[in-house]
Structure 1
Amino acid sequence: MNHQVHVAIQIVPISKEHPYPIIDKAIEAIDEAGVVYRVGAMETVMQGDYDALMTVVKKAQEACFAAGADELVVTLKVHARKNGDVTWEEKLHKYETE
């Protein structure tokens, strides 16, 4: 059975251009994939099926190359559970205000 996981991705583009527009293209690729995600100051965290998210990781990298990156340093973190889903609520409910 497939369970919901969290995948955190940080992409550091190496280019002669400023990195922010390249990073923006990675976030656009994530958004266009239709997955649930949250952008942070240092990484973007996605929630969903592991295989689907790995496809999104590849699309984000391809978007950075298309935007002018010569190289990428990509850091991934995966939180997976053997029996059950990983959710935002379990991690963040005590920090979110109404």
Structure 2
Amino acid sequence: MANSLVSIQIIPKTERYEDVIPYVDAAIAMIDASGIVYRVGPLETTMEGELTQLLQLIEKMNEKMVEMGAISVISQVKIFYNPQGAAIETLTGKYD
């Protein structure tokens, strides 16, 4: 059972202030490829899993942004940790 919900808003800074949507799409593709349960929102993406695993993925996402040409990256992260279990559905299911 997952012990954490982690929301990430990744904001890459590009040299010429290009559109960053392709960068954000690449970050979301990394989450999707990982097999982690996630939900995309308009300003952030929330992931469900083990805290260590999610933080490692965030590190890889930041590295990917630089590989794609970003000169720096801001990652705004929110963490909900509960050793007894954490699920997106528990917090937002009634709104679906």
Counterpart amino acid of 2:49? G
Unaligned 5+ residue runs, structure 1?
none
Q: Which of 25-34 and 4-13 deviates more? A: 25-34
User: After TM superposition, where is structure 1 displaced by more than 6 Å over at least 4 residues in a row?
Assistant: none
Q: TM-score, normalised by structure 1?
A: 0.87
Match of residue 81 from structure 2: 80
Matched pairs, number? 94
Aligned-partner Cα distance in 2 for 1:7–1:89:
14
Is the Cα contact below 8 Å between 1:29 and 1:63 reproduced in 2? no
- CA drift at 1:3: 4.9
Which residues in structure 2 correspond to 1:26-65 (within 5 Å)?
26-65=27-66
With the length of structure 2 as denominator, give the TM-score of the two structures.
Answer: 0.89
Q: Which amino acid aligns with 1:27?
A: I
Distance 1:78 1:56 in 2: 14
Q: Is the 8 A contact 1:37 1:44 kept in 2?
A: yes
Deviation for aligned residue 1:74: 0.8
In the alignment, structure 2 segments of 5+ residues that lack a partner are: none
**In 1, Cα distance between equivalents of 2:76 and 2:6:** 10
Secondary structure, counterpart of 2:66 in structure 1:
helix
Separation of aligned partners in 2, 1:62 and 1:73: 12
- CA separation of 1:3 and 1:46: change in aligned 2, threshold 3 A: closer
- Separation in structure 2 between the aligned mates of residue 48 and residue 93 of structure 1, nearest angstrom: 17
* 1:90 is the counterpart of 2:90: yes
Deviation of 1:93 (Å): 2.1
Q: CA deviation at 1:35?
A: 0.9
